[in-house]
Structures are given as structure tokens and as C-alpha cells.
Amino acid sequence: MATSPSSAVQEARAALGRRLREMRKPTGMTARALAARAGWHESKASRLENGKSIPSDDDLHVYATLCGVPEQFPDLIAAMHGIEEMYVEWHTMQQNGMKRAQQAHVPLYARTNHFRIYEPGVIPGLLQTPEYARAIMRRISAFRQLPDDVDAAVEVRMGRQRYLRDAHRHFGIVLEETALHSRFGDDDVMGAQLGHLLQLASLPNVSLGIVPMDADRLMWPLEGFWIFDEEQVIIELATAQVTVKQPSEIKIYARMFAELVGISVNGKDARNLLARAIATLG
């Protein structure tokens, strides 16, 4: 992963250019010949393939058509549209506090019908109590030395939870057992959070799985990730938020999520793990 937004974007442009070049090679056309057939300036295809120019939607459609692979056009479009937003550093998103970052996802939540969420070390925001959310956000705010708008950010996060009550939406959630024991707040905060999680797990549109610590691992993702329908995946790193929109990459995360579901427990077994975590509190 690149260490800055600009380098990440440049790498993504270069990767898209290489993909265009690999599409062209089997046709036997040179870059100049493809440009001629497209009615472009003779150097345009070369600039696109070297990441020197940014292709438009029409440019990508021409490439897919002339190279005889029109089925790749949707993936190319998704890759191009995702480049500028694929890597956003937290200090950019949160420079005025945490409320803005919470508000930024509201439209995405509103249009998503199927949420698939994996979190290895924390209870997801959709399932958090206000006290638990406040404890986490205060620590993040202090660590990143942000303006203190924690209460306003918590209010926005709590407002997003209304989608849980929409029976037309489905929430598939997989947590690591360690997330139940990771402490954010005192015993009262943790006890209320775990009890709240038990209640939400009973909702008919919520499927909660917990991966036991002794599970035989098939996959080992390092970070949590959220899949929003088949539209995009969001991964939160220590320094930035990464957005994935390429259909081929989304499918990989979907497969990973399915593998995690396969090694998780639910129903009575999940409730037993929650009860065990509650019993460890004072």
C-alpha cells in the first residue's frame, strides 16, 4: 500500500495503463495503430498506457471495443472512477473533526440494501451503543489530535443505525471473538455494549457470526472491511480509508467474507461466546 494519496493514485493510473496495454497486445496493433483506428492523435494511446493521461469513459469504451473485449468495459470504468477516491488519509478527512467523516457515509448507507461487515477487533459502528462509540471516538480524537466534536460525531453514528430497523435491508456481520474482549470503556460500558449486541442479533434481518479464537483458519485478513451491495468495499487502515470499486476486487472480498462466515458460529453458539465475554467483566 502506498504511503500517500498522490503516490497511490499515480500507481493506480499506471496499473490501469498497463491493463490497457495488455488488452491491446493480443490484437497485434501498435499503440499508434489503435490511436489511428480510434481517430485520436497518434500519441494518445501511448500516453494512456503509460499513465501520462487520464482516460475518459469514452476512451475506455473505445479500448474495450477495438481490443475485442467489451465485457471488460464495466471493470475499466469502475477502476477509473475509483482512482481519485481510492485512498483518503484520515488527516484530510478528519482535519475539522470526526463528524464530517461520519456524515460522508450517510448517502452510501441510504442506498445499500445488503451490508457484509467483518471486524476483527471492534464492534462495528452500526451495532455500537452511544457510550461505547464515544469511548472509541475520544481515543481516536486524542491520538490524532483532532478538534473535539466527538459528541456530534456520535450523534451522526447513532442516526445511521436507523437502517438496522429497515426490514428490507440485510446485515451479514462477522466478528472475531477477540472483538468481544477488546476494552473500550469500563465494565459498565462493555457490559451494556455486549448486551446490546445480543439484542440486535435477534433482529430478523441481522445475521451475526463470531469466529472463535480456536477456529481453524482458512483466511486471515488483517483489517476489517465493509461490503456495500456489489458497489464497493471500504477498508480502514491506521492512516487512511481505502475504497475498492473494481468488480473483480469486490468479488475477492465477497469470497473472503464467505470463507469467514464458514468458520464462524452463530445462534446459540454465538450467544454462548457473548455470554462468556460478559462473564469476564467485573
pLDDT 10s digits, 38-74: 999 999 999 999 988 889 899 999 999 999 999 999 9
- pLDDT tens profile 97-145: 888 888 888 999 999 999 999 999 999 999 999 999 999 999 999 988 8
The arrangement of strands across the sheet holding 225-228 comes to: 87-89, 240-244, 232-236, 225-228, 114-119, 170-176, 206-211
Fold annotation for 87-279: Endonuclease; Chain A (3.30.870)
Please give the pLDDT value at position 125.
Answer: 95
For residue 209, give the C-alpha cell: 457470526
Per-domain residue ranges for the chain?
5-83, 87-279
Residue 104, H or E segment: helix 99-104
pTM equals 0.72
Higher pLDDT among residues 222 and 44, named by residue: 44
Cβ partners under 8 Å of residue 166, min gap 6:
205
Question: How far is Cα 261 from Cα 207, in angstroms, rounded to an integer?
Answer: 10
Per-residue model confidence as pLDDT tens digits over 167-197: 999 999 999 999 999 999 999 999 999 999 9
Cβ proximity of 153 and 137 under 8 Å: yes
At residue 91, the pLDDT reads: 59
Mean per-residue pLDDT for 10-34?
91
Distance (Å, rounded) from C-alpha 60 to C-alpha 24? 12
Q: What is the third-level CATH fold of 5-83?
A: 434 Repressor (Amino-terminal Domain) (1.10.260)
- Minimum mean pLDDT among 79-88, 159-168, 170-179, 190-199: which range? 79-88
Query: For position 5, what pLDDT does the model report?
Result: 39
State the cell numbers at 171. Answer: 446485515
